[in-house]
Structure 1
């Protein structure tokens, strides 16, 4: 099966030659304090004694290395070497399955296929880097290794406006020297605990592609591997390896594993240097969440107070009209369903002004009655005074 090939425009700007180690850039070198970088030898061969935790030689890893997903039901499926003309078909398949993975990209491929990387990010997949030329970093000087990483980071930034915080050393070969450089550049090293070695298929005619599917079948059924989650390694760089992705995904999911981007499976809620999510949308900060939560709480409190006021006004109006049927209707409206809540709020908006108007009329009547009563009492007092004066006058006449 041949994966469809996409023709994509190259990344604008001036960039190093593809697939060759990039030139040393002094501005990049200045980002790293070389005095604290490990003195591990620059050598592609394994040393007799592993004093610098050379992972590919002794299997040594440091606590800072991301090797697997901590949750035993999580699976970080990762793809190396792209983006390539074969990546688009993988994305098509992953979209149909609503599955997100992590792509570790090569700077030269980002330069050649920026629009494929744009689709990777827009689809919500994770992005980490390898290097510009995908050459062995352990075989390069400090300055050269720094340029390999920084040129790739800059290419990703130019293509999709994000800066990855994860890197994977090409071919899984790294030591404390590469760890030190990566850390100072703000990069976390992502290794893997399950490797398909599918990249051998590009140059080894004896490599049997069925081994890839068989590996996954064995991994998900091996009880010794169910104590943690996993990070597996495949490649989207070649057609023969890209077509394996739709074959292995069902094996993983049918074994009740949840395929996730690596940043998600390790609980990193800030996947890039920029304040964005995996899909490039703005990242919602905790302060904003708390503000939203407080606003929601305040709105809820205000609504509760308003409902209490509305119910009080409704009951007052119902009592003044002595209508039990209205009370029954009011009680039936005080349910928790959205429609009834909306109806209750609508009715309250109508009833409250009516209640206020009725109250004003009643107060006016009371005032009028009080005035009349007061006038009558005053009139009676005047009459009483008149009678008293007449009696006094009669008494004086008798004298």
Structure 2
């Protein structure tokens, strides 16, 4: 934690949470805003469904690759420069997407978007831990998640509206404008939270030593799996939205927002509960509760889809409940990850994001195309991905029972 943290931000805490949430919203906005326009883009550029899916997987793999470095760079050069450069490159890439004349160009600029978007998301986690002690950091992370939840809830509505009243190009011009506004806001408001005495030397040997230190720590790997893989239990439905919502549930593009609103509503409610229980329940218990909710609703969702034909009246509700369970436990797991090696919090955030983002890319490029045409297939894949995280957490708890055992109060 930065010893001068109290001097760096004197405005209300919620304002700081909103600033960081705005950085985090670039990711969901980059995905959710243009998903309703899939069919329109494909028709305009003469792209196949597989090529359209590649615009997602290119973004996600770019995001995963660069996530390895954003946090490590911020450990050496500071949090603020990495955020500003990331937002600037994202803005330029969004302009490139808007001007794309064929599907190859769109895939390329989507990959560049992915390479840059993670800067704000990865670094903001380290910023929170720079500024606050553990239980207070959990509350701030929960607040960030609540505010951040507004963005993906409105993103598909914005995308659908722009598609209908303008064109798919307008969606990416909109993202360019968002990038400009975010860059200005962070240039004026975001303080440098990494104390100079806590910076790591930027040397290849030092970076490799850090990656090895974290990557060879089984506790880190298991916690990263526990937080990153279950996310795909609900993200799978977002990636499959054009088919799941448009074909299986027979919704129009401008109606896609119902799926996102229910999912994000669950995330916001779960994050609120996580913030309320910070410093009151042990991390172990909070994580257990979150997994219990995801497991139960995952099984119910699968059984319901086996017995009944999916209908919009009930098929979206399990996504919200699943998201609620995930959001209850992920702030806690993230803090456990960041505190395993306090001198490399930026790198830890990077590697945690890399694990989750690699899984996102695999889901987008491989799993989603395989199961998106079947509600039973979607429900089965969702439950299996949640189970990977659950097994990782169970194994870690069995091997290192002391982790997450004690309530951490703000004063600590």
TM-score (norm 2): 0.21
TM-score (norm 1): 0.22
Structure scoring higher RCO (CA < 8 A, sep ≥ 6) equals 2
Task: Name the structure where strand makes up a greater proportion of residues.
Answer: 1
Q: Which has the larger radius of gyration?
A: 1
Task: Name the structure where helix makes up a greater proportion of residues.
Answer: 2
